[in-house]
Amino acid sequence: MKTSNEILRMVNDCLDRLPYDRKPASLYEPVQYVLSLGGKRIRPVLMLMGYNLWKDQPSDILMPAVGLETYHNYTLLHDDLMDNADMRRGHETVHRRWDANKAILSGDSMLVLSYQRMQQVPADKLPAVMELFTETALEIGEGQEYDMAFETRDDVTEEEYIEMIRLKTSVLLACALKIGALLADAPLEDAERLYRFGEQVGLAFQLQDDLLDVYGDPAVFGKAIGGDITSNKKTYMLINAVNRADSRQRAELDRWIAARDFDRQEKVAAVTRLYDEIGIRQLCEEKINYYFELARHTLDEVCVPEERKQPLRQYMEELLHRDK
């Protein structure tokens, strides 16, 4: 059994060795740039760990795993453009380093490359793998559309938000684990259990992002704290703050949400103080722990020996206690 660190090294080594010899080279420079910025590589690691529950050579499916990472980074590239973000993982975003046109075109090429890499699986597995991958890609686009639509609404419910992050974030983690299981010839019931496990971990993971954007250390987090607050992003934090605020707190929240000219640090500090008063940090932490506990129970149900689950369990606990 491979540890998550061993698998991460395999993924990074594979990404570093990928050739980009097509022309024009300028089209692929941003692709290489994005994939060279590092990151946790959670999705390919989960795919390989899912495979490793049943088979001992996760290196056999490295190419579809890096295909999934290519796809994930394509979505980040376009998300950054839509959000007009300046930084990603402590580096300039593609549209800042080059321009918006290059971000769109190179992002589109990344999407095609992800499909090219994902299809490098045994022929008998290809239909199931590509059907799941394609369905997941459609769901992620739907999640992004919900996310953008929420920007102009002031009545987004917690349930709507959870469904949005399930689509935008969780389904790709679930897809990674299930594809790993399918390629390892796992029983379909266990592949479905791993899918649910990935969904639950993904929900907790995105809620952690919400929390870290407010309470994280910017030196560790890789970008400025409070971006969600300054943009009035409908996060779990803001939705629950609005719903749970008393009349004074709600009036102050509404004033900051409506403000067009403001000092960034002042707004972040004021809204964070309101979150503290209302108890939003504890509420979010409880929800994160709720989904991680569900994930633990779902992994219990996967029918492989416990010792084979241990690396995946340990990896899940590392995600629970992350600070970036």
Provide the domain limits for residue 270.
4-320
Q: Band of the pLDDT at 223, cuts 50, 70, 90?
A: low
State which amino acid sits at residue 231: S
Higher pLDDT among residues 223 and 322, named by residue: 322
Distinct helix (H) and strand (E) counts, the chain: 17, 2
What pLDDT score does 61 carry?
98
Of the pLDDT bands very low, low, confident and very high (cuts 50, 70, 90), residue 89 is confident
pLDDT of 221 strictly over 70: no
Output the pLDDT for position 90. 85
Q: Where are the alpha helices (DSSP H) in 2-99?
A: 4-17, 25-36, 42-52, 62-83, 94-97
Tell me how many domains the chain contains: 1
CB 180 within 8 A of CB 68: no
The CATH number linked to 171 is 1.10.600.10
Pick from 90, 30, 116: which is nearest to 220 by CA? 90
Q: 281 with 211: CB under 8 angstroms? A: yes
Q: Are 179 and 266 in contact (CB under 8 A)?
A: no
What does the block give as tokens for 277?
Answer: 């008063």
The pLDDT value given to residue 222? 58
Q: What is the DSSP string of 40-68?
A: --HHHHHHHHHHHTT-S-GGGGHHHHHHH
What are 246-259's pLDDT values in tens digits? Answer: 999 999 999 999 99
Q: Is the pLDDT of residue 197 over 80?
A: yes
pLDDT at 217: 85
Q: What is the pLDDT of residue 126?
A: 98
Percent of the chain exceeding pLDDT 70 equals: 99
Question: Measured between alpha carbons, how far is residue 165 from residues 28, 97, 171 in Å?
Answer: 30, 28, 9
- Identify whether the C-beta of residue 223 lies closer than 8 Å to the C-beta of residue 88: yes
At residue 206, the 3 state secondary structure works out as helix
Compute the residue count for the chain.
324
Across the range 195-205, mean pLDDT stands at 97
Provide the pLDDT for residue 252: 98
| Least trusted range by pLDDT, from 206-220, 248-262, 294-308 | 206-220
Rounded CA gap, 157 and 140, in Å?
20
In this prediction, residue 218 has a pLDDT band, given cuts at 50, 70 and 90, of confident
Predicted confidence (pLDDT) at residue 82 exceeds the cutoff of 80: yes
pLDDT tens column, 23-44: 999 999 999 999 999 999 999 9
Mean pLDDT of 109-134: 98
Distance CA 83, CA 227 (A): 10
Evaluate whether 233 touches 255 at the Cβ level (below 8 Å): no
Question: What's the rounded Cα separation, in Å, for the pair 298 and 196?
Answer: 7
